[in-house]
């Protein structure tokens, strides 16, 4: 056991308790680990917190959890890191709200000998963190693109594609899913690090959704006005997919359009079962958090740092295609399996 870390954690607890703050909720003197999520309302991060807490209990770590007030709240995450430094934490997991702006705070934490693991979203540059535990978002996009290509080829249908992305900021998760889908469908992506520079005539257009249902509905309405013949819709996540479906339904087009998405949340899997979403790529946030906490526990024990998945610059926590409309040559699980393994 890294005895110094344990002593620092205990000392940090004592100081903060005197200051009227709660740093060690159980008062056990166990090493402190942190979890900092983008928000505490998104089901993805709620599930991540549950997985982290379960793993922390098993590993005898005192988990301290923090979150931004809204998606994009970097200042709350900066303050959370400062708190964890004061607590003498041995390390923390973070889903960064601003991958670049958070790096100076991460640097300070590493100077304090803390292990820093990014979850789901890498920091910029990625090696500012000790490791990233994440879905292969390019692969998640590629799987739904491959499935859609097989479906449209089997039906002899020419695709008219709407791309419902996250926001204009070209964040890594957004870019990777978007570009993965296009590659899976067989479309030249141009610059793989940028959304929207392709020139394939099958693409009707791009719009942004902010990853929520209202945004998905508005983006779908916009693109339908531009091209009412759209018959394939890529969505950044399942809430955006649900909003897109509502817009298609209002236009009387829901039976003529296939929607694909990424997430694997239980509401999204339900929508696969209902035929709202044709296929989705399931992520595993519980696994991300559990593996991250285990890595911190190992670091506390003997200083070992996590190793990336072979051939990748991060630790790949897996992705699974979910559909009730299987296509030849495309491996998938059905929505019944999805319901047993979904989150949220």
Task: Quick: pLDDT tens for 86-102.
Answer: 999 999 999 999 999 99
- Distance from C-alpha of 324 to C-alpha of 326, rounded to nearest angstrom: 6
pLDDT at 174 over 90: yes
Beta bridge partners of 343: 265
Whether residue 14 has pLDDT greater than 60: no
SS3 for 133? strand
Task: Say what the pTM is.
Answer: 0.86
Task: Give percent above pLDDT 90 in the chain.
Answer: 86
Percent above pLDDT 70 for the chain: 92
* Angle CA 64–68–72, to nearest 5: 145
The packing angle between helices 137-155 and 172-185, to 10°, is 30
Tell me which residue has tokens 């929520």. Answer: 212
pLDDT level of residue 28 (50, 70, 90 thresholds): low
pLDDT at 42: 87
What does the alpha-carbon distance between residue 287 and residue 124 come to, in Å, rounded to a whole number?
23
Q: Is the dihedral of CA 231, 236, 237, 243 positive or negative?
A: negative
């Amino acid at each position: 056991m890294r005895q110094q870390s344990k002593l620092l954690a205990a000392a940090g607890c004592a100081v903060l308790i005197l200051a009227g703050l709660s740093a060690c909720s159980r008062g056990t003197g166990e090493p402190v680990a942190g979890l900092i999520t983008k928000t505490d309302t998104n089901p993805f991060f709620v599930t991540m917190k549950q997985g982290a807490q379960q793993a922390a209990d098993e590993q005898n770590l005192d988990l301290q959890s923090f979150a931004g007030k809204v998606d994009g709240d970097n200042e709350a995450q900066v303050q959370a890191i400062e708190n964890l430094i004061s607590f003498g934490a041995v390390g923390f997991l973070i889903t960064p709200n601003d991958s670049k702006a958070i790096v100076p705070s991460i640097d300070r934490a590493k100077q304090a000998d803390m292990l820093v693991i990014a979850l789901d979203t890498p920091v910029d540059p990625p090696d500012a963190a000790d490791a990233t535990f994440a879905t292969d978002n390019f692969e998640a996009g590629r799987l739904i693109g491959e499935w859609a290509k097989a479906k449209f080829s089997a039906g002899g249908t020419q695709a008219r594609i709407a791309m419902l992305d996250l926001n204009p900021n070209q964040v890594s998760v957004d870019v990777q899913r978007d570009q993965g889908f296009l590659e899976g469908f067989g479309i030249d992506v141009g610059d793989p690090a940028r959304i929207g520079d392709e020139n394939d005539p099958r693409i009707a257009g791009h719009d942004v959704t902010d990853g929520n249902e209202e945004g998905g509905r508005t983006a779908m309405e916009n693109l339908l006005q531009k091209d009412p013949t759209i018959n394939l819709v890529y969505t950044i996540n399942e809430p955006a997919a649900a909003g897109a479906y509502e817009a298609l339904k209002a236009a009387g087009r829901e039976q003529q359009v296939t929607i694909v998405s990424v997430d694997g949340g239980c509401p999204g899997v339900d929508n696969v079962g209902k035929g709202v979403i044709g296929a989705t790529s399931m992520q595993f946030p519980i696994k991300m958090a559990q593996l991250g906490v285990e890595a911190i526990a190992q670091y506390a024990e003997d200083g070992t740092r996590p190793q990336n998945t072979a051939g990748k610059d991060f630790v790949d926590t897996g992705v699974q295609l979910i559909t009730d409309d299987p296509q030849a040559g495309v491996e998938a699980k059905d929505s019944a399996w999805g319901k047993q393994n979904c989150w949220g």
